[in-house]
Amino acid sequence: MEGPAASRERASGFRTLFDDEQAFRVWYGDAVTRVYGYLYHRTGGMRSVAEELTQETFVDAVRNRNRYDGRSDPLTWVIAIARHKLADHYRQGAREEQRRLKLVSSGPLVAEDDPAAGSERREDILRALRSLPSMQRAALALHYLDELSVRQIAAQLGRSEVSVESLLSRGRAGFRRALAEPEPVPGEEEHV
């Protein structure tokens, strides 16, 4: 078991990496590959999500490098940051899913006298929402579920108001198209 002196020495050595560009590049080259691999496999191979979370992980690691106490290997510490980023990502996804479900179950989209039709309609709506790009889904959820204005959504998403208007417009159009197109039944062949 290592003592406090060894931990302090490891922490000091890690912090000096940031003062030596070449040493940092070597360490980062190895670390980024391993962190990305960790995230890639835990996101089900979703490359863009793994890339984004890897970037967020290293931004946090650089910003908080003085918090590294040396009790573990620096890569272990960075992987712990990645694990927290991944958990945050999944929590955010769960919150978004809850908002979508709230939208589906709270509106006049369901015929109260026909529970079977209501269930089918919910599934159609969920399928349509899942078909949209994430930023369009986010804009629609913030606007229609959280009842935020375009200006507030722009601030939340870090986009211009014009960009948010575009996201909302494309999201509504995509949602309508997806809702109108029935999902193909597995095993049925399309006749041309």
Least confident of 77-91, 137-151, 173-187: 173-187
C-alpha radius of gyration, the chain, whole number: 23
Please tell me the distance from the alpha carbon of residue 174 to that of residue 180, in angstroms, as a whole number.
10
Range 51-57 contact pairs with CB under 8 angstroms and sequence separation of 24 or more: 53/82, 53/85, 53/86, 53/89, 54/82, 56/85, 57/81, 57/82, 57/85
Query: Tokens 């992987």 map to which residue?
Result: 79
Mean pLDDT of 53-60: 96
pTM over 0.85: no
pLDDT digits (tens, 9 = 90+) for 123-179: 777 788 778 887 887 788 778 766 789 998 888 777 899 998 998 999 899 988 888
Class of domain 4-91: mainly alpha
Mean pLDDT of 184-188: 49
Fold that domain 114-180 belongs to in CATH: Arc Repressor Mutant, subunit A (1.10.10)
pLDDT digits (tens, 9 = 90+) for 99-120: 665 665 454 444 445 555 566 7
Domain ranges of the chain: 4-91, 114-180
94 band by pLDDT with thresholds 50, 70 and 90? low
Q: Where are the alpha helices (DSSP H) in 43-160?
A: 47-63, 74-106, 115-130, 134-140, 150-157
